[in-house]
Chain A
Amino acid sequence: MESVSRLELAIRCRELRKQYKSRSGVVDAVNGLDLEIRRGECFGLLGPNGAGKTTTIEILEGLLHATSGDVEVLGMRWGKSDDELRQRLGISLQETKFPEKLSVWETLVLFRSFYRAGKDPAEVMESVGLTEKAKSWVVKLSGGQRQRLAVACALVGDPDLLFLDEPTTGLDPQSRRQLWDIIRTLGQQGRTILITTHYMDEAERLCDRVAVVDHGRVIALGSPGELISTLGGEHVVEYAVANGGGIPTEELESLPAVKEARTEATGTALTVTEPHIAIPALLEKLQSLNLHLNRLTTRHASLEDVFVHLTGRHLRDEEVSTS
């Protein structure tokens, strides 16, 4: 990391802090966050709702002032080169309601007009698959189409750096996949992209590197593969037994090929290096204790497991509890 020169960095921030005053006192939304994002990479800020992702990205976008800390974007600073920065950034906010009675085409031309140089709106419209909807009013678009319009509005200025805040939240699976294809294509064109998300699969599929954020700071950083490998095993075996009888965690962790065991609401999850060794050992153990297996699944370890490993919580716990 230290070997990367500052010229190669699209974003560099140090000791970033943002405090809000609330009724219950001062809240640290961002609490000493460090980031280095290289030019040309697709970087993800992954964390649960309320982790400080949006606050962070809005500070980087120049829409919020940090309480303290140092931020450099494309080698420039907010407050000194604002217009120059605005010309070179493309931004999709978490939730923007575009004018309902403007068409897709009119909206894109409007946003294009703000930039000195940029792309042909028709070309951008084609790249996000909205050409057929050129004349449709925004109010008639589906959620996925609106989100693609938001990305298109971020692209018409032909930005060097693209910010996408929760680009697929609330979309159906098909719309999410469509957006992923668009974002992946953008990444391949050599653009720097910063995405925030609380979907681990999104971060895994799209991002070259991911910073896992919790309580306003980075708790893990690396490529999705690197992060998963920190678990010590690339597979997860989950099982549940009838009557909820349990085996102590230490006993499970002493089984061959098992790196970590954790008890969850619906059963037990084991991080294992080699499922074909761990599973027979597990079954034997259950047999010997006369426990009946209700469920047994195995899957590749994900960033979700990394988050649970680091914090003991699931990425989407908070969302579930508030919805």
Chain B
Amino acid sequence: MKKYQPLKELSLARFREFAREPEAVFWTYGFPLILAIGLGIAFRNRPVEKVYVDVEDHALAAQVTQSLTPHADLVVAVHSGAECRDRLRLGKSSLVVIPGTPYTFLYDPTRPESALARQRVDDVLQRAAGRKDPIPTSERFVTEPGARYIDFLVPGLLGMNLMGSGLWGVGFVIVDMRVRKLLKRFVATPMKRTDFLWSMIGGRLVFMLPELVVILGAGRLMFHVPIRGNLLSILLLSLMGAISFSGLGLLVATRAERIETVSGLMNLIMLPMWLLSGIFFSPDRFPNMLQPLVQALPLTQLNYALRAVILEGASLQSQLLRLLILAAWGGVSFVCALRWFRWN
């Protein structure tokens, strides 16, 4: 065993520099945590939407109000005809009921809450008037952990963080070293260039572990986000993501000679993925025309796979195609980066 091992020393140096930089630590671990907590609180325990219904002042108004008020989800008010129309127009109510023969529902059918209100109010009024339903029905509510927005969000945040810290943690650090002429100084020694690159990627993989623990742990403890998949599968999947984005980070850093250049390139790469890759909402919502692009992005595939494994307990094998797409991004980036890398 040699006393001084370059790969070990380079990795230690990476680790020390990172751990001694409070800002880097905050952006890697603190920021996603705050984001998860903030969004989790914002979207937690959303109460059942109330339906606001106005009844036009009329001889039968009292009867209508009487039928509607026992239902907790309906907020009923009686106003004059003009006032009712104003309130509808301003969005203060979703529906106006004009009693008479026939009963008239006044609403904007393109407003989803108005369409819902129309169905609901009609239903209540018909039953109050004695309608019998031919098929008995019952209801069961699903607000179980695993199907809420926060459950959707946490794996997405994990993916976003793996992308951000992979790109910054490798790309930015390398360009910074180039600016400081440290790369040139390293090249002036017999240091093996592969040792250097491995230490950069190895460092990323080590720093990734606390990211995983912080984000999934916070989701589990604060919002009871379920972790249904095998922990090892989650770890391997995250590793694959981290490697893939480290490769992209390396590629971004191959030739940039200024911090401003690399920051710009980094944002250029990350922005489409922030928007399209399903961090905050499902990428399936984008129009078909955009889907080939959306599906080709590495973060889209990572987020799909993370959600499948974490929330549905899917096996790693079932995510093979996604893993391959991630690996392809990482592999191609590495090869190109090694080819074009500017050391001095």
Contact = CB atoms under 8 A, between A and B. Distances in A.
Given A101-B16, A102-B17, A114 B180 contact: no
Contacts of A144: none
Interface stretch (A66-74, A105-113, A225-233): A105-113
A111 B189 contact: yes
B197 to A, nearest CB: 15
Given A63-B188, A93-B188, A109-B4, A101 B17 contact: yes
A101 B21 contact: yes
Interface secondary structure of B, over-half rule? helix
Contact of A116 (B10, B21, B181, B190): B190
A114 B181 contact: no
Q: How large is the interface on B (under 10, 10 to 19, 20 to 34, 35 or more residues)?
A: 20 to 34
Contact of A115 (B12, B186, B189): B189
B10 A110 contact: yes
Contacts of B191: 114
Contacts of A243: none
Given A63-B184, A96-B182, A99-B13, A113 B21 contact: no
B187 A63 contact: yes
Contacts of A99: 13, 17, 182
A87 B181 contact: no
B9 A97 contact: no
Contacts of B187: 63
A153 B186 CA distance: 10
A93 B190 contact: no
Contacts of A114: 6, 186, 189-191
Contacts, number: 69
A96 B181 contact: yes
B185 A93 contact: yes
A62 B190 CA distance: 12
Given A63-B344, A109-B9, A110-B10, A115 B190 contact: yes
Nearest to A64: B344
A93 B9 contact: no
A106 B181 contact: no
B306 to A, nearest CB: 33
Contacts of A83: 190
A61 interface: yes
B138 interface: no
Nearest to A88: B190
Most chain A beta carbons < 10 A, residue from B4, B180, B187: B4
Contacts of B4: 109, 112-113
B184 A113 contact: no
B285 interface: no
Nearest to A97: B180
B344 A97 contact: no
A204 B182 CA distance: 31
Given A93-B184, A97-B182, A101-B16, A110 B190 contact: no
A114 B344 CA distance: 18
Most chain B beta carbons < 10 A, residue from A87, A95, A111: A111
Contacts of A98: 182, 185
A76 B12 CA distance: 34
B339 interface: no
A86 B186 CA distance: 11
Interface in B14-30: 16-17, 20-21
* Nearest 5 interchain pairs by C-beta: A113-B4, A97-B180, A86-B190, A101-B20, A113-B9
9 contacts: A91-B185, A98-B185, A99-B182, A101-B21, A106-B13, A109-B4, A113-B4, A114-B186, A157-B189
Interface of B: 4-6, 8-10, 12-13, 16-17, 20-21, 180-182, 184-191, 344
Interface of A: 61-63, 83, 86-87, 89, 91, 93, 95-99, 101-102, 106, 109-116, 137, 153, 157
Given A96-B180, A109-B9, A113-B8, 13 more contacts: A63-B344, A89-B188, A93-B181, A93-B188, A96-B182, A97-B180, A98-B182, A102-B16, A110-B9, A110-B10, A113-B6, A114-B190, A115-B189
